[in-house]
């Protein structure tokens, strides 16, 4: 998938558990760039990632990944598309009965065709790249949150996908850990040209790393570069970006 192609959601109509999430959502994610999905909680940011990954189906509209409509694919078709995608879940979603090594090796083992030695080399290389060492035999429950995220990242990229989807990779981490993961993501993008779509709450992170931003607001969605959005005069956007304190003061609460 070249950097010219992109991922796009077109006119997505989506209801989740009886609630209307999207009415006619359309947005694009340029190939080879880092896109950040921002917005308030509960507005459907994670749902966008799930739509791209084919984990949920919309009631209407198209989800285009590298030219194919993911929402209409058969299970076998999905399997093929997912080879191009890597996903990092909030909380890692590592198998909790498997060691760190086994978790990261799993996609390679399931794929087949590689010797155990080659797999071990690949696993150690990628763990080193994300900054995790000497954790081979530990279980996910035994490592810190930051390390967990990095192992999940390693697992997501070990098959060298074209696109990496990250669901709130920074949530619950301290600022130092956030910076580390941010740096890793940027590094991977620059070195491998991997398209990245990151869901985040963190405005500052976004400003630092995003090439393209999709801002999910209560009634509509705005797209653009970080600079463009900050200067956008849309009332909801302004409210989102404004200083919290200022906002409360305006409302007379403080």
Partner 1 sequence: MVNPVSQVGYKAVQLTQDLGSMAAFAVDIVRTSLTRPVRFAAFAREIYKLGVLSLPIICVCGLTVGMVMGLQGHHTLVRFGAQRSLGAVVGLSLIRELGPVLTALLVAGRAGSATAAEIGAMVATEQLNGLRMLSIDPVSLVVKPRAVGMLFVTPLLTGLFIVCGLYGGYLVGVGLLHGDPGSYMSSLRAVVDFHNDIECCMLKSTVFGLLLGLIATYRGYTSAPTSQGVSAATTSCVVISSVTVLLTDYLASALWGV
Binding site for partner 1 (CB under 8 A): 53, 55, 79, 82-83, 85-87, 89-91, 93-96, 106-107, 110-111, 155-156, 159
Q: How far is the CB of 2 from partner 1 (least distance, A)?
A: 22
Query: Measured from the CB of residue 103, what is the shortest distance to partner 1 in angstroms?
Result: 9
Q: Which of 206, 93, 213 is closest to 153 using CA atoms? A: 93
For 148, phi and psi rounded to 5 degrees? Answer: -60, -45
Cα maximum dimension of the chain: 66
Contacts for 16-19: CB closer than 8 Å, 24+ residues apart? 16/44, 16/47, 16/56
Burial 195-223 (b: 16+ CB within 10 A, else e): bbbbbbebeebbeebbebbbbbbeeebbe
Q: Which lies closer to partner 1 via its Cβ, residue 44 or residue 53?
A: 53
**What is the token pair recorded at 190?**
């620059």
**Minimum Å distance from CB 71 to partner 1?**
15
Query: What single DSSP character describes residue 131?
Result: T
Cβ 166 to partner 1 shortest distance, Å = 12
Query: Phi/psi of residue 19, each to 5°?
Result: -100, 145
Minimum CB distance to partner 1, residue 94 (Å): 7
> Is the CB of 197 or the CB of 237 nearer to partner 1?
197
Of 127 and 237, nearer to partner 1 (C-beta) is 127
Name which of 110 and 244 has its Cβ closer to partner 1. 110
**Which of residues 88 and 216 has its CB atom nearest to partner 1 in the complex?**
88
């Amino acid at each position: 998938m070249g950097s010219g192609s992109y991922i796009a959601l077109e006119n997505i109509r989506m209801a989740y558990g009886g609630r209307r999430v999207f009415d006619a959502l359309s947005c694009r994610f340029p190939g080879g760039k880092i896109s950040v999905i921002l917005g308030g909680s509960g507005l459907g940011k994670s749902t966008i990632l799930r739509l791209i990954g084919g984990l949920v189906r919309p009631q209407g509209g198209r989800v285009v990944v590298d030219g194919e409509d993911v929402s209409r694919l058969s299970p076998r078709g999905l399997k093929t598309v997912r080879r191009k995608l890597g996903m990092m879940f909030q909380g890692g979603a590592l198998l909790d009965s498997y060691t760190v090594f086994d978790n990261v090796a799993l996609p390679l083992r399931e794929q087949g065709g590689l010797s155990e030695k080659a797999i071990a080399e690949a696993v150690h290389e990628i763990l080193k790249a994300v900054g995790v060492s000497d954790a081979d035999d530990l279980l996910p429950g035994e490592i810190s949150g930051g390390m967990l995220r990095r192992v999940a990242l390693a697992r997501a990229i070990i098959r060298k996908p074209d696109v990496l989807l990250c669901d709130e990779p920074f949530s619950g981490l301290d600022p130092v850990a956030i910076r580390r993961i941010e740096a890793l993501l940027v590094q991977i993008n620059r070195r491998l040209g991997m398209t990245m779509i990151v869901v985040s709450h963190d405005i500052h992170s976004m400003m630092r790393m995003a090439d393209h931003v999709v801002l999910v607001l209560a009634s509509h969605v705005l797209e653009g570069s970080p600079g463009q959005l900050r200067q956008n005069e849309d009332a909801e956007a302004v409210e989102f970006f404004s200083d919290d304190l200022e906002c409360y003061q305006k409302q007379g609460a403080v």
